[in-house]
Amino acid sequence: MDDLDLRQLVIDELEFEPSINAANIGVSVEKGVVTLTGHVASYVEKIAAERAVERVKGVRAIAQEIEVRYPDHQKRSDDEIAQRAVNILHWSVQVPDGSIHVKVEKGWVTLTGAVEWQYQRLAAESAVRKLSGISGVSNLIEIRPRVAAADVHKKIMDSLKRNAEIEADSIRVIVDNDKVTLEGKVKAWYERGLAERAAWSAPGVKVVEDRLTLD
């Protein structure tokens, strides 16, 4: 697939996604690398645009340069955003209470602290990025499991084999203490995400290095 055809597929997917107003989003493609520019009205919309592009077959990488531009009446002060972030984390059943620290500067939220599982780390980010008035989120939360799993490799491979959308035999999983490296080939960009989630689902994993390539 050439870059011109891929660009049109990306544009079509952005316009098809109901949560995105694609009117102010620019798309350029070079050797399968998609660059998104322009602006959107919320951080949630910015993330939705990136997720939409990831679904398009043939996309090899994404450069995300979209700005978030809130209307003046929707802008929030940093202290207000910080308080709302603390509240929403407190209400989340997936995030251990008191484990996350919040810092807000010019609408940009930084999360620090430590949790035991990757899903808790992602749940904290997911909860915060839905807040209105934010311009971005930096997730610096660490994973500190209480115990290390000796069968990390088996758990990951079992997870890959259960997923009908992934050919597990084409993926090699290398476990080195708390680091997992994925090698091999997949047929589409989104399959890389599925494989990464399978790796992160194993207890004790702190780092996932994705070396998967598109077939």
Task: Note whether 3-68 and 72-143 share their fold.
Answer: yes
pLDDT value of position 125:
93
Question: Could you tell me the residue ranges of all domains in the chain?
Answer: 3-68, 72-143, 152-214
Which regions in the chain score pLDDT beneath 50? Answer: 147, 149
Q: How far apart are CA 116 and CA 100, in angstroms?
A: 12
Q: Is the dihedral of CA 9, 34, 71, 85 positive or negative?
A: positive
* Amino acid identity at 153: H
pLDDT value of position 149:
46
DSSP, res 66: P
* CATH number for the domain formed by residue range(s) 152-214: 3.30.300.130
CATH class of 3-68: alpha beta
Contact status, residue 88 vs residue 131, Cβ threshold 8 Å = yes
pLDDT value of position 150:
55
pLDDT value of position 132:
84
Its pTM stands at 0.56
- The pairing of strands 171-176 and 179-186 is antiparallel
Q: Residue 208 half-sphere exposure, CB side, CA atoms within 13 Å?
A: 24
The residues, any chain, with a CB within 8 Å of residue 133's CB and separated by 6 or more, are 70, 74, 75, 76, 80, 81, 107
pLDDT value of position 151:
65
Q: Residue 204 half-sphere exposure, CB side, CA atoms within 13 Å?
A: 15
Q: Burial level of 100, CB count in 10 A (0-12/13-18/19+)?
A: buried
pLDDT value of position 146:
59
pLDDT value of position 195:
87
Could you confirm whether domain 72-143 is CATH 3.30.360.10? no
